[in-house]
Structure 1
Amino acid sequence: MPQPPGNAQPAPALSTPATPTPALPRTAAVILAAGLSSRLGEFKPLARLGDETLLERAARLLRQADVADILAVAGHRAPETLAEAERLGIRAVTNPEYATGMFSSVLAGLRAVAELRPRPDALFLLPVDVPLVRPHTLRLLLERFAASGEAPPAVLHPVFCGQRGHPPLFHARHLPELLAWDGENGLRGGLDALGERHGAEEVPVADENILFDVDDQPALAEAKIRLARRGIPTPQEALALLALHNAGERGLAHGRGVAEAALTLARALEAKGTRADVDTAFDPGPAPSLDFALIEAAALLHDIAKGQPRHEAAGAALLGSLGFHAAARIVADHRDIAPETAPRLTERELVYFADKLVRGSTRVPVRARFQLKLDLFAHDPDATAAIRRRLANALAMQQRIEAAAGAPLHRLVPGTQDT
């Protein structure tokens, strides 16, 4: 299984409606869309990803972050880029020196931003070929900027697994310095110089796509796969989310334990090669293949809101707000699933049941997992009745899994045998 991201310092969790945040800065953005597109083999700004052009995706991402002024820089095949920008309702400028390198396009965009009125407080720089950055990444960068008060760092870099990615956010007061940069090492050199003089901050984000660019046809094919799976955090993104929300070693160990148990069950069902279903009266069709990455990510994240009232609903709401809807649906139901609401064994049922096999980071039999609660609430008849109902549901799920896999649970998941 992947390891948690290293190097970057933990960032506060994304704000919730119950957590007041400072007003976000007025923000502008420059989309760099002037390059030759030589390696891709087609014109990047108009290359299609899903039902949108890459320029359209960039503009929509920035609008989702409430960026006030969006400006595209055209160069190669400029008339086409300008026409697309007009269709999208965003500003555009042309860089006649685009062939000299990307930094000339950065400068063209910055000069246009310097003329904006009202002037922005902060500025994103986003290459058009980085099309899958998640909206919550931009929101987190803006929240960190706002929370820095009167003296925010000159540059905020999104970081995933210790690597800086796109888009950087920098304070617009430093526009003159960046415009005066001599161009050595391009944009990276200019931002590094600003950071050395005025401070820079690395902001950990749960977004692999800050490191992903569409530079050739294999990358465009990969982008289409990633687009189709946007509702599913990768396991590495799940670990980053746990770090952002201060899950701690115990929470991380429990999530890993549940993920390992759920994946073990999934592998057993896949190896059996039969329907992951016992009662065909519910659904006579063939069971689809299980999504192992979704199982792992949802299992890692199932307790991300532990400690909050109705933590399963709170966790699902958090993941839904980040766009991770497939994982959110599983997290919402991990506490209890009644047999009549589960016509077949899917990722949801496996994560739910795996959670009943792990106490802390240790595997236990289902009955032992519930006995602790029964002992704790022995004085409360209503609570005891509810716990016994959940235990009955879990035992019914165990029977279905054993029947589908053709083996008793303790053989499927060692350490779960009743004593």
Structure 2
Amino acid sequence: MTPDRRRFGAAILAAGFSSRMGAFKPLMDLGGKSVLERCVGAFQQAGIERPLVVAGHCAAQVQSEAKRLGVPTVHNPGYGDGMFSSVRAAASACAGLPDLDAFFLLPVDIPLVRPVTITLLLHAYDGRVAYPVFAGERGHPPLIPAGLIPRILGHDGQGGLQGLLEGQPGLDVPVWDRGILLDADTPDDFAVLLWRAARLHVGERDEALALAGQSMPGRGLAHGQAVAAVAVGLGEELNRNGARLDLDLIHNAALLHDVAKDRPGHEAAGGALLERLGLGGLSPIVGAHRDVPPPASGVLTEKEVVCLADKLVRCDRRIRVEERFGEKLALYADNPEACAAIRGRMQHALALRGMVEKACGRGLEDILAGVLP
């Protein structure tokens, strides 16, 4: 049940043959969980505790897995007639849910939709068919008004579900989740999903950019992009000199480091926000970006790189560490305690700069030449 007390359901369509995959998709292992478990988990984490699973081909195996996951199944005896037969079976089952307002339909071969996407659709729902949209493209799962169930049950299947819904009022909901577009039709597709499953906590660069665009004001976004450019430039040069830094982690954490800039203690608030969004890999970096001392190990990590990059950017332009902190010292000149803290952070930043220059064998200005004006 969502905060506004409306009732939502969900159905996962898992009745197909998986003919192009060469294996039965619902039960394939995707990063330690079955494909079906990934789908079920997305809904459960968004508050829909018992999504329905439509079974058909290999029904006994699907039913067994659904039982293990604690969710009900519906059998589609006509699964050989195509996906719309499963859509009908799902709609018929959802019709039996009391006081249902709307329901999701998710093909099992789109298993890496983020729970936050489900939540965004739930909160945006206004009685129209709600579609998640990433990079201008609609994806799965749509959230369908229960009032359309009779139309679905009476439809001849021509044009599939998409054809039926095209004539209905729709609501496009921007999301930052590329998983709404990624299916698993072939082994090559599945290889992409395996890679993505291992990286969900970091996200992809275009996802981070979409999240930043949806969450940050224009000036904050421009600053984040500038810090990301500097941080990636540093990371690339360090990697050329023997480091093994995760450049996507650096980029995304740097881009989103001020995602909670308008909140008290914005560093910790930003880290906590990203953790809630499923980007826990970014949280420690964002939560610490204000001040990171040089590591005792002498080995620079993504955290130090992002912190230093932030100290090298004012607004969306590069600045020297001494100039950046000199401005702060002038601003707080009549506050000895604040000045002492500023000097401490400046010494840390200078030490990090020295470590980067030593590791790369050249000065910072040379390393970052051409990165930002």
TM-score of the pair, normalised by structure 2: 0.95
Tell me the equivalent position of 1:297: 252
Tell me the equivalent position of 1:244: 214
Tell me the equivalent position of 1:282: none
Please state how far the C-alpha of 1:260 moved relative to its aligned partner. 1.0
Equivalences for residues 45-194 of structure 1 within 5 A: 45-116=26-97, 118-145=98-125, 152-194=126-168
Residue identity matched to 1:142 = L
For 2:116 and 2:23, the matched residues in 1 are separated by 30
Please state how far the C-alpha of 1:76 moved relative to its aligned partner. 1.6
For 1:241 and 1:312, the matched residues in 2 are separated by 17
For 2:302 and 2:294, the matched residues in 1 are separated by 15
Is the Cα contact below 8 Å between 1:30 and 1:126 reproduced in 2?
yes
Count of matched residue pairs: 370
Is the Cα contact below 8 Å between 1:24 and 1:142 reproduced in 2?
no
Is the Cα contact below 8 Å between 1:268 and 1:412 reproduced in 2?
yes
SS at match of 1:93: strand
1:365 aligns with 2:320: yes
For 2:31 and 2:306, the matched residues in 1 are separated by 30
User: Relative to structure 1, is the Cα distance of residues 143 and 239 closer, same or farther in structure 2, using a 3 angstrom cutoff?
Assistant: same
Tell me the equivalent position of 1:5: none
Tell me the equivalent position of 1:261: 230
Tell me the equivalent position of 1:37: 18
For 2:193 and 2:295, the matched residues in 1 are separated by 38
For 1:185 and 1:309, the matched residues in 2 are separated by 52
Could you report, residue by residue, the CA deviation over 1:306-356 in whole angstroms, capped at 9, with x for unpaired residues?
121111111101000011111111101111012256742011111110111
For 1:365 and 1:134, the matched residues in 2 are separated by 39
Correspondent of 2:198 among 221, 228, 240: 228
Tell me the equivalent position of 2:179: 209
For 1:407 and 1:73, the matched residues in 2 are separated by 61
Please state how far the C-alpha of 1:182 moved relative to its aligned partner. 3.4
Could you report, residue by residue, the CA deviation over 1:355-387 in whole angstroms, capped at 9, with x for unpaired residues?
111101111111111122112212222211111
For 2:245 and 2:33, the matched residues in 1 are separated by 29
Which one has more relative contact order, counting CA pairs under 8 Å at least 6 apart? 1
For 1:131 and 1:201, the matched residues in 2 are separated by 23
For 1:215 and 1:415, the matched residues in 2 are separated by 42
Is the deviation greater in 321-330 or in 406-415?
A: 406-415
For 2:115 and 2:22, the matched residues in 1 are separated by 28
For 1:415 and 1:210, the matched residues in 2 are separated by 36
1:328 aligns with 2:294: no
For 2:8 and 2:160, the matched residues in 1 are separated by 23
User: Relative to structure 1, is the Cα distance of residues 307 and 87 closer, same or farther in structure 2, using a 3 angstrom cutoff?
Assistant: closer
Tell me the equivalent position of 1:385: 340
Please state how far the C-alpha of 1:253 moved relative to its aligned partner. 1.4
User: Relative to structure 1, is the Cα distance of residues 87 and 340 closer, same or farther in structure 2, using a 3 angstrom cutoff?
Assistant: closer
Tell me the equivalent position of 2:269: 314
Is the Cα contact below 8 Å between 2:78 and 2:85 reproduced in 1?
yes
For 1:271 and 1:243, the matched residues in 2 are separated by 31
Is the Cα contact below 8 Å between 1:178 and 1:194 reproduced in 2?
no
For 1:85 and 1:24, the matched residues in 2 are separated by 27
Residue identity matched to 2:220 = G
For 2:4 and 2:297, the matched residues in 1 are separated by 44
For 2:174 and 2:363, the matched residues in 1 are separated by 43
Please state how far the C-alpha of 1:82 moved relative to its aligned partner. 2.3
Residue identity matched to 2:124 = R
For 1:87 and 1:397, the matched residues in 2 are separated by 50
Tell me the equivalent position of 1:9: none
Is the Cα contact below 8 Å between 1:342 and 1:349 reproduced in 2?
no
Please state how far the C-alpha of 1:98 moved relative to its aligned partner. 1.4
Tell me the equivalent position of 1:3: none
SS at match of 2:22: coil
Is the deviation greater in 215-224 or in 353-362?
A: 215-224
Is the Cα contact below 8 Å between 2:227 and 2:313 reproduced in 1?
yes
User: Relative to structure 1, is the Cα distance of residues 328 and 212 closer, same or farther in structure 2, using a 3 angstrom cutoff?
Assistant: same
- Where do 5+ consecutive residues of structure 1 fail to align? 1-20, 146-151, 277-288
